[in-house]
Amino acid sequence: MAAFEGNGRFTGRVAIVTGAASGIGRATAVLFAREGAHVLLGDVDRAAGEAAAREITAQGGRATFQFLDVTRAEDAARLVQRARREFGALHILVNSAGIIRRATVIELEESDWDRVLAVNVKSVFLLGKNAIPLMAESGGGSIINVASGWGLAGGPRAAAYCASKGAVVLLTKAMAIDHGPQGIRVNCVCPGDTDTPMLRAEALQMAEPEAEFLAGAARRPLGRVGTPEEIAQAIVFLAGNASSFMTGAALVVDGGGLAGA
């Protein structure tokens, strides 16, 4: 594999990325490593997470995988404790773990409601609760939560998902207010449909042929879905000095999907 080629803008920085085994999380971990950060990858998919870490290190980056169930307080604590133990600091947290269940409130099982809210919202609380004290000790930092365009506008048969991502947007703003005085910026990115395993799994949930479902997702001004790397670029922007006066923001990256909303 070719070595990473970046400008080193995060050299000496420590980043945690959840949901790092695939999709947006994996692309984000790769990009931070390319830019010099040591990345702690957390995910419930051990095999894919370890493979992602190996891919990064094989290309000259620095990455460590740790199993993480983002809904469990003890797992969140252990991941942050590892950052403290091995690096003595934490500068960046990306809450990228997420799931979707396509259903109305009538169709939705209570267990699915609970699971979506736990993975998509409780995780942000648990990781933030553990990470913020270490970030403050490190001189400040940046938290980026992955919300969704459907956290700003509703969508069909996605009641729990829309509720959870709307919560992430306002939780981001509340955290920004509370922790700005500690030098910690908290922003969220709101992607539109992005070509990830989760998006393709939605076709099955909606009982639609995958090609037909993806064609519908591409009906936006730019005429296509996004790539994980494009969302990762926005996340890295929010983590870096180029966004130093941004906090509490919800950055929409959706190919114009919400432009007419």
Determine the Cα–Cα distance for residues 89 and 240; give it in Å rounded to an integer. 17
Q: Residue 125 contacts by C-beta under 8 Å, 6 or more apart in sequence? A: 171
Backbone angles phi, psi at 217, to 5 degrees: -65, -25
Active site residue 161: yes
- pLDDT given at position 203: 86
- pLDDT given at position 3: 53
Catalytic residue (choose from 53, 161, 167, 199): 161
- Domains of the chain from N-terminus onward: 14-196+225-249 (3.40.50.720)
- pLDDT given at position 5: 57
**What three-state secondary structure class fits 138?**
coil
Say what the pTM is: 0.95
Given a contact cutoff of 8 angstroms between Cβ atoms, the answer to whether 28 and 229 are in contact is no
Amino acid type, 9: R
Determine the Cα–Cα distance for residues 42 and 44; give it in Å rounded to an integer. 7
Determine the Cα–Cα distance for residues 228 and 190; give it in Å rounded to an integer. 13
| H or E element in which residue 42 lies | strand 38-43
What order do you get walking across the sheet with 92-95 strand by strand? Answer: 62-67, 38-43, 14-18, 92-95, 141-146, 184-191, 250-253
Q: In 3D, which of 99, 118, 87 has the Cα closest to residue 16?
A: 87
For residue 18, the 8-state DSSP code is E
pLDDT tens digits for the chain (261 residues)? Answer: 345 556 789 999 999 999 999 999 999 999 999 999 999 999 999 999 999 999 999 999 999 999 999 999 999 999 999 999 999 999 999 999 999 999 999 999 999 999 999 999 999 999 999 999 999 999 999 999 999 999 999 999 999 999 999 999 999 999 999 999 999 999 999 999 999 999 888 988 988 999 999 999 999 999 999 999 999 999 999 999 999 999 999 999 999 999 987
Amino acid type, 179: H
Measure Cα distances from 36 to 10, 12, 54, 56, 195 in Å.
5, 7, 16, 11, 26
- pLDDT given at position 1: 38
- pLDDT given at position 7: 78
